Structure 1
Amino acid sequence: MHISTGEVVELDHSLIVGRQPSVSRVLGGAMPRLIQVTSGNGDISRSHVEIRLDGWDVLLVDLDATNGTVLVREGQPSRRLNRGEEVVLRNGDIAELGDDVSLLFEDLL
Protein backbone atom coordinates (compact mmCIF):
# COMPACT_ATOMS: atom_id res chain seq x y z
CA MET A 1 0.00 0.00 0.00
CA HIS A 2 1.38 3.39 -1.00
CA ILE A 3 0.35 6.38 1.11
CA SER A 4 0.32 9.72 -0.72
CA THR A 5 2.78 11.02 1.91
CA GLY A 6 5.41 8.73 0.39
CA GLU A 7 5.27 5.92 2.94
CA VAL A 8 4.95 2.35 1.65
CA VAL A 9 3.33 -0.19 3.96
CA GLU A 10 3.45 -3.93 3.33
CA LEU A 11 0.09 -5.63 3.72
CA ASP A 12 1.20 -8.56 5.82
CA HIS A 13 -1.49 -8.03 8.48
CA SER A 14 -4.48 -5.76 9.13
CA LEU A 15 -4.02 -2.00 9.54
CA ILE A 16 -5.97 0.90 11.00
CA VAL A 17 -5.28 4.26 9.35
CA GLY A 18 -6.20 7.63 10.83
CA ARG A 19 -4.92 10.84 12.40
CA GLN A 20 -4.71 9.21 15.87
CA PRO A 21 -5.56 5.54 15.25
CA SER A 22 -6.43 3.24 18.11
CA VAL A 23 -7.98 -0.15 18.69
CA SER A 24 -10.67 -0.49 21.32
CA ARG A 25 -11.16 -4.23 21.01
CA VAL A 26 -9.69 -7.06 18.96
CA LEU A 27 -11.90 -10.07 18.33
CA GLY A 28 -9.66 -13.01 17.51
CA GLY A 29 -6.62 -12.72 15.30
CA ALA A 30 -3.68 -10.39 15.68
CA MET A 31 -3.66 -6.77 16.75
CA PRO A 32 -3.79 -4.50 13.66
CA ARG A 33 -0.88 -2.17 12.94
CA LEU A 34 -1.71 1.49 13.55
CA ILE A 35 -0.76 3.92 10.75
CA GLN A 36 -0.92 7.62 11.60
CA VAL A 37 -1.41 10.21 8.85
CA THR A 38 -1.40 13.99 9.13
CA SER A 39 -4.72 15.81 8.85
CA GLY A 40 -4.14 19.56 8.88
CA ASN A 41 -7.83 20.41 8.40
CA GLY A 42 -9.14 17.60 10.59
CA ASP A 43 -10.86 15.90 7.62
CA ILE A 44 -9.45 12.51 8.60
CA SER A 45 -11.02 10.75 11.58
CA ARG A 46 -8.90 9.45 14.44
CA SER A 47 -9.47 5.88 13.25
CA HIS A 48 -10.65 6.42 9.67
CA VAL A 49 -10.35 3.10 7.83
CA GLU A 50 -9.30 -0.46 8.45
CA ILE A 51 -7.42 -2.49 5.87
CA ARG A 52 -8.38 -6.05 6.78
CA LEU A 53 -6.89 -9.25 5.41
CA ASP A 54 -9.54 -11.94 4.96
CA GLY A 55 -8.08 -15.07 3.40
CA TRP A 56 -6.92 -14.01 -0.08
CA ASP A 57 -8.99 -10.82 -0.03
CA VAL A 58 -7.94 -7.36 1.16
CA LEU A 59 -10.89 -5.39 2.50
CA LEU A 60 -11.25 -1.63 2.94
CA VAL A 61 -13.55 -0.89 5.88
CA ASP A 62 -14.85 2.60 6.64
CA LEU A 63 -14.76 3.00 10.43
CA ASP A 64 -17.70 5.44 10.59
CA ALA A 65 -15.38 8.22 9.39
CA THR A 66 -17.01 11.62 9.91
CA ASN A 67 -16.08 12.96 6.46
CA GLY A 68 -16.25 9.60 4.73
CA THR A 69 -13.97 7.58 2.49
CA VAL A 70 -14.00 7.73 -1.31
CA LEU A 71 -13.10 4.65 -3.38
CA VAL A 72 -11.53 5.38 -6.77
CA ARG A 73 -11.56 2.36 -9.10
CA GLU A 74 -10.43 2.39 -12.73
CA GLY A 75 -13.32 2.32 -15.18
CA GLN A 76 -15.92 3.25 -12.53
CA PRO A 77 -17.11 6.55 -11.10
CA SER A 78 -15.63 7.45 -7.71
CA ARG A 79 -17.98 6.62 -4.87
CA ARG A 80 -18.24 7.49 -1.21
CA LEU A 81 -18.46 4.45 1.05
CA ASN A 82 -21.32 4.27 3.52
CA ARG A 83 -20.41 4.47 7.19
CA GLY A 84 -19.14 1.07 8.26
CA GLU A 85 -19.15 -0.28 4.68
CA GLU A 86 -16.51 -2.78 3.64
CA VAL A 87 -15.40 -3.46 0.08
CA VAL A 88 -13.00 -6.00 -1.43
CA LEU A 89 -10.08 -4.10 -2.94
CA ARG A 90 -8.73 -4.64 -6.43
CA ASN A 91 -5.27 -3.95 -7.75
CA GLY A 92 -4.92 -0.22 -8.49
CA ASP A 93 -7.77 0.93 -6.20
CA ILE A 94 -7.31 4.23 -4.37
CA ALA A 95 -8.94 5.18 -1.06
CA GLU A 96 -9.19 8.94 -0.56
CA LEU A 97 -9.39 9.87 3.13
CA GLY A 98 -9.33 13.69 2.99
CA ASP A 99 -6.71 16.43 3.41
CA ASP A 100 -5.08 15.17 0.17
CA VAL A 101 -4.23 11.85 1.84
CA SER A 102 -4.87 8.75 -0.25
CA LEU A 103 -3.97 5.07 -0.17
CA LEU A 104 -2.99 3.26 -3.38
CA PHE A 105 -3.24 -0.52 -3.40
CA GLU A 106 -0.83 -2.30 -5.75
CA ASP A 107 0.29 -5.86 -6.34
CA LEU A 108 -2.90 -7.36 -4.92
CA LEU A 109 -3.65 -10.89 -6.05
Structure 2
Amino acid sequence: MARKATYACWKYPKAKAIIITAKAAVKLVARCRPSVPGLLVVSMSESFKWSSHVASHGLVFHGIIPLMGADSKTIGDMISFSVQVAKKEGICNSGDLVVALHVLKVLQPLHVQ
Protein backbone atom coordinates (compact mmCIF):
# COMPACT_ATOMS: atom_id res chain seq x y z
CA MET A 1 0.00 0.00 0.00
CA ALA A 2 2.90 2.36 0.71
CA ARG A 3 4.16 2.01 -2.84
CA LYS A 4 0.69 2.66 -4.27
CA ALA A 5 0.27 5.81 -2.16
CA THR A 6 3.66 7.19 -3.17
CA TYR A 7 3.02 6.23 -6.78
CA ALA A 8 -0.30 8.10 -6.75
CA CYS A 9 1.41 11.27 -5.57
CA TRP A 10 4.00 11.48 -8.34
CA LYS A 11 2.65 9.41 -11.25
CA TYR A 12 -0.35 11.66 -11.84
CA PRO A 13 0.90 15.23 -11.28
CA LYS A 14 -2.13 16.70 -13.09
CA ALA A 15 -4.61 14.97 -10.81
CA LYS A 16 -6.90 17.38 -8.98
CA ALA A 17 -7.57 15.09 -5.99
CA ILE A 18 -6.69 11.73 -4.46
CA ILE A 19 -9.72 9.73 -3.31
CA ILE A 20 -8.90 7.40 -0.42
CA THR A 21 -11.19 4.53 0.58
CA ALA A 22 -8.63 2.64 2.68
CA LYS A 23 -7.91 3.66 6.27
CA ALA A 24 -4.30 2.52 6.04
CA ALA A 25 -3.59 4.71 3.02
CA VAL A 26 -4.42 8.00 4.78
CA LYS A 27 -1.15 8.24 6.67
CA LEU A 28 0.86 7.13 3.64
CA VAL A 29 -0.70 9.71 1.31
CA ALA A 30 -0.26 12.47 3.90
CA ARG A 31 3.39 11.52 4.32
CA CYS A 32 3.98 12.26 0.61
CA ARG A 33 2.62 15.80 1.14
CA PRO A 34 0.82 15.96 -2.22
CA SER A 35 -0.08 19.34 -3.68
CA VAL A 36 -3.69 18.18 -4.15
CA PRO A 37 -6.22 17.33 -1.44
CA GLY A 38 -6.77 13.77 -0.32
CA LEU A 39 -10.46 12.96 0.10
CA LEU A 40 -10.96 10.28 2.75
CA VAL A 41 -14.37 8.68 2.18
CA VAL A 42 -15.85 7.12 5.31
CA SER A 43 -18.95 4.97 4.89
CA MET A 44 -21.49 4.74 7.68
CA SER A 45 -23.11 1.56 6.32
CA GLU A 46 -22.96 -1.65 8.30
CA SER A 47 -20.88 -3.41 5.64
CA PHE A 48 -17.89 -1.26 6.62
CA LYS A 49 -16.86 -1.24 10.27
CA TRP A 50 -15.79 2.40 10.24
CA SER A 51 -17.17 5.23 12.26
CA SER A 52 -16.91 8.97 12.69
CA HIS A 53 -13.71 8.27 14.65
CA VAL A 54 -11.96 7.47 11.36
CA ALA A 55 -13.15 10.75 9.84
CA SER A 56 -12.03 12.82 12.82
CA HIS A 57 -8.69 11.00 12.82
CA GLY A 58 -8.27 12.05 9.17
CA LEU A 59 -8.26 15.71 10.22
CA VAL A 60 -4.88 15.21 11.90
CA PHE A 61 -3.06 14.48 8.64
CA HIS A 62 -1.74 17.04 6.14
CA GLY A 63 -4.03 17.69 3.17
CA ILE A 64 -6.70 15.14 4.09
CA ILE A 65 -10.38 16.09 3.89
CA PRO A 66 -12.69 13.51 5.49
CA LEU A 67 -16.09 12.93 3.87
CA MET A 68 -18.90 11.05 5.55
CA GLY A 69 -20.46 8.96 2.76
CA ALA A 70 -23.84 8.35 4.35
CA ASP A 71 -25.22 5.26 2.60
CA SER A 72 -22.35 4.11 0.42
CA LYS A 73 -22.53 0.33 0.24
CA THR A 74 -19.81 -0.30 -2.36
CA ILE A 75 -16.43 1.17 -3.26
CA GLY A 76 -17.91 2.55 -6.48
CA ASP A 77 -20.61 4.39 -4.53
CA MET A 78 -17.97 5.86 -2.22
CA ILE A 79 -15.88 7.08 -5.15
CA SER A 80 -18.83 8.60 -7.02
CA PHE A 81 -19.97 10.31 -3.80
CA SER A 82 -16.54 11.85 -3.28
CA VAL A 83 -16.35 13.03 -6.90
CA GLN A 84 -19.76 14.70 -6.53
CA VAL A 85 -18.64 16.48 -3.35
CA ALA A 86 -15.35 17.52 -4.98
CA LYS A 87 -17.21 19.01 -7.94
CA LYS A 88 -19.65 20.79 -5.64
CA GLU A 89 -16.84 22.29 -3.55
CA GLY A 90 -14.81 23.34 -6.61
CA ILE A 91 -11.93 20.93 -6.06
CA CYS A 92 -12.36 19.44 -9.54
CA ASN A 93 -14.43 20.05 -12.66
CA SER A 94 -15.72 17.89 -15.51
CA GLY A 95 -12.82 16.48 -17.52
CA ASP A 96 -10.32 16.66 -14.64
CA LEU A 97 -8.30 13.68 -13.49
CA VAL A 98 -8.68 12.26 -9.98
CA VAL A 99 -6.91 9.21 -8.56
CA ALA A 100 -8.64 6.65 -6.35
CA LEU A 101 -6.84 4.42 -3.83
CA HIS A 102 -9.09 1.43 -3.12
CA VAL A 103 -9.37 -0.85 -0.13
CA LEU A 104 -8.25 -3.65 -2.44
CA LYS A 105 -4.86 -1.93 -2.94
CA VAL A 106 -5.81 -0.77 -6.42
CA LEU A 107 -4.78 2.58 -7.86
CA GLN A 108 -7.30 3.85 -10.40
CA PRO A 109 -7.10 7.07 -12.43
CA LEU A 110 -10.56 8.50 -13.20
CA HIS A 111 -11.74 11.32 -15.43
CA VAL A 112 -14.53 13.36 -13.87
CA GLN A 113 -17.77 13.31 -15.87
TM > 0.5 between the two? no
Task: Name whichever structure is richer in strand by fraction.
Answer: 1
Q: Which has the higher helix share?
A: 2
Return the structure number with greater relative CO, CA threshold 8 A, min gap 6. 2
Report the TM-score, using the length of structure 1 for normalisation: 0.31
